[in-house]
Structures are given as structure tokens and as C-alpha cells.
Amino acid sequence: SSFLLLSLSCSDYLALPAVGMEIKNRLKDENISLSLPSQRVDRFDENIANILGGNRQGSLTFAPEAGTQRMRDIINKGLTNEELLRGVKTAHEQGWDKVKLYFMIGLPGETDIDVLGIAETIRWLQQECSTPGRRKLSFNVTISNFTPKPHTPFQWHSVSTSEFERKQKLLRQEFRTIRGLKANFTDVRLSAMEDFVGRGDRRLSVVIRRAWELGAGMDAWWESLDRAFAAWTQAIAESGLTWKYRQVESGEWNLIEGTSQPNSSLNSNSANQPENSSALIEKPIPHPSLDAPLSWDHIDTGIDKQWLKADLQRALEAAVVPDCSFEGCSHCGVCGADFGHNVVIQPLPIPQFEGHFKPNQERVQRLRVWFGKQGDMTLVSHLDMVRLFDRAVRRAALPIAFTGGFHPSPRISIANALSLGASSSGEIVDFELTKTVDLAEFQEKLVAALPADVPIYRVEAIAPTAASATKLLERAEYYIAVHALTDSPSDATPLLAAQWQDWIEMVKGAKEIYLEQTTKSGKVKQVNLCDRFFELSLVGDAECQNLPSDILHYQAESQAILRYVGSCRNDGSLLRPEQIVFMLEQMAQRQFQLLHTHRSQLFLSSVGVE
């Protein structure tokens, strides 16, 4: 499990090292890693490395944003090459072999040299961080396309899909020459949609509604992108707008180009392309259109528009504005009676690092627990059940033993995976503990930490040397609700118990019912299901009433509830409920539908049980 400190920029929180270290120390005896979404590389030091490191070292993400110092100054990133190198080097020295980096292209004032500077920066970092005998530092790089946002100095900036594409191509070519680099580029269509919506006016509401009607939604998901982009394109066209509608109407998006002339592409007939014109900035030129009203001007964020204009000018001159938390106020307008004042609280001292989690591998007591899976919990997968027990044990503060190695995991072992959707009143799970715990106390604590739909029936102590339930498992008893399918509704005459009985007897009498199975290695083999079959019977009405509600619920809908016992071994030889249905189909020469499966018992071999 992991403990994530979630915020947009948690490194800005000055007390992060102190708070992070305190959390890390408190979780010292738990198998929980601490992670942060992304952090300021200039604040990454040994303390943060200790907080994030350990056996379950999480991934590390830094966001230098731009590839050259000049660009980082334009966007006022406040990060020098030296700081970037120091942070990445510290990460490498502290054991990270892979670092995620986040960059943007299409920033105001960006030239091709700045774009290629991203590749240059990665190459330089790799070279500077190379250590003899150590694996080369590798990078996962995300390149996103800058889309300006309202209420920022770049709210006037124009972006261009074709420029994004050209720069992506340039960078892709350059990346090919770098080993140990995995790059991920944001789809330009996503950026076009983001930009269109990001700086829209009232006319946008019709487009948004129409795009949604046409199937847009979850647009950032790669599998939704084609559909979303087509929906947006159609919705924009139907509204009589174009992808660059604001630019076409007022031209203001080009005002920080190297020319103050209105955009020559206004008459372009490619207006339906997601194309906002842009050009590289040679020299910042103030433009009277900066004073034109913007559709979000009526929203007061506290920041003065005049200040944004001045800040844009400063940005284009690559003048760094210091962080007002520490140095000088540039009078942006936020501080005052409405929003209060910028107050910096000095962080608490960083506690002493008490070391990483050391898994306790001692095994003193083994407990075998019988549990059920009912109601909504039937929809929880096997893997999630494993996690559920892990969390429950931790919540209940039970002294669970751990495996060793690089990825220590709690010694909790579920005897056999139950198919998704099946209910059960007979599952088994083994626990190994570092201390002896009273059985009743163990059960009580575990029940309190588990959902009510995972009932605990009993707990037994087994010898520390005994074989696990996984190894001892031999057979399983199931109740299945089955329905006989008919060719047409008119044939749907109720089947008599005697008819079911006949089919059951045929299955029981059969010596060979083969099923073709493909092994993991792709080999096709014929499996005789009769070898895995032990018992089959029709459950009478009286017996049905004693069944758990999960299967009883299907009594009316199904035509029969059958009980069977089949092989259930973890070496792959098991008789699944669908296979019993297959056996019935082979004998009765008709089709059946399996409505529900309930596992009522697991049988362990008595050999090895102490």
C-alpha cells in the first residue's frame, strides 16, 4: 500500500520535509510506501529521498517544464540548470535508476533551440549522472503542449496545432539518438480541445452541450479521443464557429507575435482545422489589443489585469519575478482586505530519520481462517480480496509476518481464487503471525476490520510447519443455479425433477466427457472432465431452504439448483461450474445457462494437516 500526499505542488509546502519525515517515521513498522505526485527538483534532497525511498521506492517525477534556462525564465519557473542537476543527481545517488520528467512545448517566445534544449538537457543529465558500475539513469519523459489559461500572463498567447506537430516531430527525431529514454507526447487534438474550451466565451455552452450529445466525454482517455475529437469538430461546425473562433473574431490571440499586424490567416479557408496561428516571438511588442475586453474579465481572481500585462512583458524579456513568499512584492493585486496577506509560516524542524521499513520475517503462529463472500463482495476480484485482507490485518494491528526480498508482502494466502460474481460460504485463508495471538481475539479484530459481507466463520491454529491450504486443497463443493434453454418460448414447459435426475444420472454414469483446453504455452489438449468429477445431485426444495440467500435468490429464476463436488487443486486440475454445465449439455444434448455459482466448502487433504 502507499500513502500519497496529494496536491498540485506539494513541494511548495515548506513543511513537507518535516511532515513527510514524521509520517515516514510513524509508518516505519508498516509496509507502506510514501509517495508524492510531482515535486520541485530544486527542493529534492536527502530528506525527501529518505521519505520516498526504501524497499518500495516509488517513482520520482520532476517538472523542469522547459529545456533551456531562457525558457524557464520566461515562464518564471525559478529553476537553474545547477538546481536541476543537483536534484536529479541526488535522486540517482539515493538509488533511483529512473526519473520521470515533464516538459512543455509551444511556450510563448519558444524557438526551435528551446525545443531541442529538452533533448539536450536529458543528454546532459544522463552524462553528468553517470556512475561507473551503475546502470545508466533512464528517463520517462512527458511532452505536453502548452495551452494558455485565463487569468495568467499568457492568456493572450496564441497556440498552433501545426506548430505543436512540427515541434513534436523535431523532438522525436532528436530523442531517437538518446538511449534509455521513453517519451510520451500529448496528442495535439487534446490540446486543441483544451485550448478551445479553456478560453471560451458564452457561445461555448451550446458547443459543449452539442459535443456531449455527440459522444464527447472522458476526452483525455486515449480510447475516447477519436470519438471526442469528431464530436467537438461537428459541434463547433454546427454552431457556426471554428476551432479558432476567437482569433477569427477579434484577432487578439496573435498580439504577441513579432508583428502587430492582424493575423494574415484570418481569411484562410482552413478555418475548420484545429489551427490557431502563431509565430515565434523575435521581440516582444506591446499591442493595443491587450486592452480589449476578455470574456472572463468579469471574474475577479484578485489579480490586476494591468499587472498581468506587465508580467507578460517581463516574461517576454525573460526577467525573473521572485517568489513573493520570500522576496519582494510585485503588487499583483491579490493581497489586501479581500484575500488577506501572504504570510509565510516557518516550517517545524525535520525529525531524525528512523530508517526504512524492515519486514518482520519471524513466523511464530499460523492460523487457518474459514470465511465467506456474499452480497456485493461477490463482485470483488481475487486480487482485491488479497488486498482487502492485507488492509484489514493492518487496520486491526495484527502482527502479520512478511516475506523477505525486494518486495516484502504479508504472509496471507487464500486457498483458491473464486470466480468473480460467485458467492461462497466456504473459503479458506492462512495467516502467519510474528507473535502468538489468542484465536478469539484474532477473530474479533479481523471481523471488526472486514466488511460485513466477508463473514469469518472460524479460526484454527495450525502447526507452523504444516502445509498451506493452497497446497492441501483437493476438492470443492458447489451449488449452481441452472436454467435449461429452449429454442422458442413456446417450448418453455417446466422441466420435471425426474428429467433433471435422468441427466444427472447420465453425467454420473459417463466415463469420458472430453473438453478441449489450451494451455498457457498455447498447446491444445483434451481433458476428460470425468476424471475431475466426484458428485452431482439435484437439490430438493427442503434442502434449498438451508442454502445461503446468495444462491437461494436464484431458485425461482432457475429450473434447478444442483450440488456438485469436483476436483479443486491449484495445479490446474479443477472442475469449474461452467464445465459441469458443459457435461450436462453433452449428455442431455441441449443448452443450459449457468445463473449463479455458490461455493460452499473446500476440502483439504488430511495428509500434512496437523
Using CB under 6 A, list all residues that contact ligand SF4.
324, 329-332, 334-335, 342
The distance of closest approach from Cβ of residue 145 to ligand SF4 in the complex, given in angstroms and rounded to an integer, is 28
Could you tell me how many residues make up the chain?
A: 610
SS3 369: strand
Nearer to ligand SF4, 37 or 322 (CB): 322
SS3 598: strand
The distance of closest approach from Cβ of residue 80 to ligand SF4 in the complex, given in angstroms and rounded to an integer, is 22
Nearer to ligand SF4, 324 or 380 (CB): 324
Angle between helices 188-198 and 225-238 (to 10 degrees): 40
Residue of 115, 497, 260 whose CA lies nearest to 252: 260
Angle between helices 112-128 and 81-93 (to 10 degrees): 40
Q: What cell was used for 406?
A: 525486494
Nearer to ligand SF4, 344 or 420 (CB): 344
The distance of closest approach from Cβ of residue 39 to ligand SF4 in the complex, given in angstroms and rounded to an integer, is 22
Residue 608: left if φ>0, alpha if ψ -120 to 50, beta else—which one? left
Residue of 502, 532, 536 whose CA lies nearest to 514: 532
**DSSP state at residue 57:** -
Residue of 609, 610, 604, 606 whose CA lies nearest to 473: 604
The distance of closest approach from Cβ of residue 59 to ligand SF4 in the complex, given in angstroms and rounded to an integer, is 33
The distance of closest approach from Cβ of residue 335 to ligand SF4 in the complex, given in angstroms and rounded to an integer, is 3
Nearer to ligand SF4, 12 or 438 (CB): 12
Give the separation between CA 153 and CA 316, rounded to whole angstroms: 10
Nearer to ligand SF4, 31 or 155 (CB): 155
Q: What cell was used for 593?
A: 445457462
Nearer to ligand SF4, 296 or 307 (CB): 307
The distance of closest approach from Cβ of residue 339 to ligand SF4 in the complex, given in angstroms and rounded to an integer, is 8
The distance of closest approach from Cβ of residue 307 to ligand SF4 in the complex, given in angstroms and rounded to an integer, is 8
Nearer to ligand SF4, 299 or 607 (CB): 299
How many Cβ atoms from other residues are within 10 Å of residue 6's Cβ? 8
Are 105 and 168 contacting, i.e. CB atoms less than 8 angstroms apart?
yes
Most distant CA pair in the chain, distance = 94
- The strand order across the sheet containing 181-185 reads 61-65, 98-105, 138-145, 181-185
The distance of closest approach from Cβ of residue 296 to ligand SF4 in the complex, given in angstroms and rounded to an integer, is 19
Nearer to ligand SF4, 230 or 324 (CB): 324
Nearer to ligand SF4, 14 or 324 (CB): 324
H or E stretch at 596? strand 592-604
Nearer to ligand SF4, 132 or 328 (CB): 328
Task: Transcribe 110-156 into DSSP letters.
Answer: --HHHHHHHHHHHHHHHHHT--TTSPPPEEEEEEEE----TTSGGGG
The distance of closest approach from Cβ of residue 134 to ligand SF4 in the complex, given in angstroms and rounded to an integer, is 43
Q: Which residue has the cell 504455452?
A: 521
The distance of closest approach from Cβ of residue 303 to ligand SF4 in the complex, given in angstroms and rounded to an integer, is 8
